[in-house]
Amino acid sequence: MPSPFFNPGTTSHADQLAILHLRRDALVPTILRTHDDENLGYDEGKVTNTRFGSFPHSTLIDQPWGSQIVASEVNTGRRSNKRGGKRKAAALNDGDDTATSTAATTASPKTASSGFIHLLPPTPESWTSALPHRTQVVYTPDYSYILHRLRASPGKTIIEAGAGSGSFTHAAARSVFNGYESLRPAHKKQKTRLGKVCSFEFHEARAGKVQEELVQHGLEDVVRVTHRDVYNDGFLLGDEPSERSSPKANAIFLDLPAPWLALKHLVRNPEDGSKSPLDPSSAVRICTFSPCMEQVQKTISVLRQYGWLSISMVEVMHKRIEVRREVVGLDNEGVRRAIVYPKSVEEAVGKLRVVENRLKEFKTIQREAATAAANGEAVVKVEESNDSSSQKQPPRNDQKMAQVPSYELGRLVHRSEPDIKTHTSYLVFAVLPRAWSEEDEQKARELYPSRPT
Ligand SMILES: C[S@@+](CC[C@H](N)C(=O)[O-])C[C@H]1O[C@@H](n2cnc3c(N)ncnc32)[C@H](O)[C@@H]1O
């Protein structure tokens, strides 16, 4: 199945990951299904419940990406009679929004008044914001910088350890993707190298969960997950030590508690005589992610011992700066984001005068109406008075404002948003030059002979 992360198409399909966008900071991932194998008793088939209402998947499937989908009323009548009712409550308590049902027939959902969501195709960025956290994750500001410094590009092979919650894994997969192994014609197999992520995770349940998600997301062709303690067993692929093959990696990302313990395996000629996991024909770039300076120091010291060059450290301190115009004053009533209070004493006094004048006019009208009522001509008189009083009113503020383009209104301000999710990230980068043999030296000497002195 082509992954929706690479080719989402124009519309959503059944059995595909979709992101339900509630708000910018509230995204719910769900696999779209008409029916599901958990029997939760909804007549409408699989239903995702959110704080903005219930969304039967029949209303989400075959919709253009980006559509606004209105919540539905779902029939929960059968649920209370079923064992599934309790299971769903438990699932929701666990933060699992994908409560599902296998109904014999799928009823047509009726629109509810509770709210709406937007239906979005998955991207590594939205997956990072929405994924179920099993560990600390690498966030978008960090991984975009890391992948850039690792020169991750289509056709490259990246080693990643540990996989954790799979946040970095998805972004890395998109960077290196240049085709699916299983869809490649046989005659092209030897020619081009397909991009790969070789992901290692030592926690068995996490490794299993990441693998399961990658299959659901159509990424199993691009990412190979290995359950392994990389400190002891290194980065070769395959289970049997005697049959292990080299991933021939061009780039490495280590998000481990002690990255320096894994570096002995990331060399051109391992001491134990095993194959090197590195691509011999290219320079290899590495990045390690550490939350404290002591770890950085240990990593750098060991990198030096193994011949890594151009070692540098970066701390990513991402801040989103919001730049906008701030308009203050009573003139700006009806202008979006305006702060509507008097900006000066004159404006406050002016406003009070207007209010007092209106009150006087209102009282005059009431008095005239009372007199007219006594004379038997009430209604007409009052309506006329109302009309004439409204004509006397000054033009509405938003009418005056319409003459000035909104981008020229107010004061230009900028604020940094404090709520960007991230965690301390000291990133160490280094480069290991390509492998260089006697034979390579000889070829280079023939190609570029030194000039006789
Ligand atoms: C901070 S998490 C990685 C998060 C991941 N980069 C992400 O973006 O979701 C660190 C992971 O390294 C794994 N780990 C720790 N020691 C390991 C080892 N020796 N070999 C492989 N994985 C290991 C842990 O189980 C944990 O899941």
Q: Which residue's CA is the nearest one to ligand 1's atom 18?
A: 229
Q: Which residue has the CA at smallest separation from atom 2 of ligand 1?
A: 164
pLDDT higher than 90, residue 167: yes
Pocket test for ligand 1, best of 134, 170, 201 (most atoms within 8 A of CB): 201
Report the residue among 168, 203, 295 best suited for mutation to probe ligand 1: largest number of ligand atoms under 8 A from its CB: 203
Dihedral (Cα; 6, 11, 14, 20), 10-degree rounding:
80
Put the strands of the sheet holding 251-254 in their side by side order: 223-227, 196-201, 157-161, 251-254, 284-290, 426-432, 309-315
- What is the average per-residue pLDDT within 425-447? 93
Ligand 1, pocket-test mutation among 202, 206, 292, most atoms within 8 A of CB:
202
pLDDT of residue 39: 60
Minimal-distance CA residue to ligand 1 atom 12: 162
Q: How many CA atoms lie within 13 A of 65 on its CB side?
A: 17
Q: What atom of ligand 1 comes closest to residue 136's alpha carbon?
A: 1
Identify the pLDDT of residue 390: 46
pLDDT (0 to 100) of residue 100 = 42
The whole-number average pLDDT for the span 113-137 is 92
Residue 170 alpha carbon to ligand 1 centre in Å: 15
Assess whether pLDDT exceeds 60 at residue 221.
yes
Atom of ligand 1 nearest to the CA of 256: 12
Closest-CA residue, ligand 1 atom 1, reads 136
pLDDT, residue 79, reads 54
To test the pocket of ligand 1, the residue of 128, 133, 135 to mutate (highest count of ligand atoms within 8 Å of its CB) is 135
Q: Look at ligand 1, atom 3, and give the residue with the nearest C-alpha.
A: 164
- State mean pLDDT over 251-258: 97
For strand 17-23 and strand 110-120, is the pairing parallel, antiparallel, or unpaired? Answer: antiparallel
- Cα separation, 126 vs 347, whole angstroms: 46
Cα 312 to averaged position of ligand 1 atoms, centre (Å) = 23
Residue intervals of the chain classified under CATH 3.10.330.20 are: 1-77+108-122
N-to-C CA span, the chain:
64
Q: How far apart are CA 120 and CA 10, in angstroms?
A: 10
* 162 CA → ligand 1 middle, Å: 3
Q: How far is the CA of 254 from the centre of ligand 1 (A)?
A: 8
**How much of the chain, in percent, has pLDDT values that exceed 90?**
56
pLDDT by residue (tens digit) across 349-382?
Answer: 988 998 899 999 999 998 888 888 888 765 544 4
Pocket of ligand 1 (CB under 6 A): 135-138, 161-162, 164-168, 200-203, 206, 229-231, 255-257
Residue 113 is predicted with a pLDDT of 74
What pTM was estimated for this model as a whole?
0.77
ipTM score? 0.99
Confidence band, pLDDT 50/70/90 cuts, at residue 4: very high
Per-residue pLDDT, 12 = 96
Instruction: Give the pLDDT score at 74.
Output: 83
CA distance 451 to 117: 71
Across 419-441, average pLDDT: 86
What is the whole-number distance in angstroms between the Cα of residue 178 and the centre of ligand 1?
A: 26
Shortest-distance Cα residue to atom 16 of ligand 1: 256
**288 Cα to the center of ligand 1, angstroms:** 12
Handedness of CA 215, 218, 219, 221 (dihedral sign): positive
Query: Looking at ligand 1, which atom is closest to the CA of residue 232?
Result: 19
Centre of ligand 1 to C-alpha 201, Å, is 6
CATH architecture group of domain 1-77+108-122: Roll (3.10)
State the pLDDT at residue 357: 92
User: Per-residue pLDDT averaged across 52-63, rounded?
Assistant: 93
Assess whether pLDDT exceeds 70 at residue 130: yes
Query: CA dist 135 to 2, 168, 296, 399, Å?
Result: 28, 12, 20, 54
| 411 has pLDDT over 70 | yes
pLDDT of residue 166 exceeding 60, the answer is yes
Measured between alpha carbons, how far is 202 from 232 in angstroms, rounded to an integer?
Answer: 11
CATH class of this structure's domain 126-318+425-447: alpha beta
pLDDT of residue 191: 72
What pLDDT sits at residue 421?
64
pLDDT in tens, 75-113: 765 555 554 444 444 444 444 444 444 444 466 777 777
What are residue 21's phi and psi, to 5 degrees? -95, 105
What does the block give as tokens for 200?
A: 């290692």
- pLDDT band of residue 323 (cuts 50, 70, 90) is confident
- Residue intervals of the chain classified under CATH 3.40.50.150 are 126-318+425-447
pLDDT for position 65: 97
Give the burial class of 360: count Cβ atoms within 10 A of its Cβ; 0-12 exposed, 13-18 middle, 19 or more buried: exposed
Query: Which residue is closest in CA terms to ligand 1's atom 4?
Result: 164
User: Greater confidence, 100 or 212?
Assistant: 212
Q: How does residue 153 score in pLDDT terms, banded at 50, 70 and 90?
A: very high
pLDDT of 206 above 60: yes
Provide the mean pLDDT of the chain. 84
Nearest CA to ligand 1 atom 14: 162
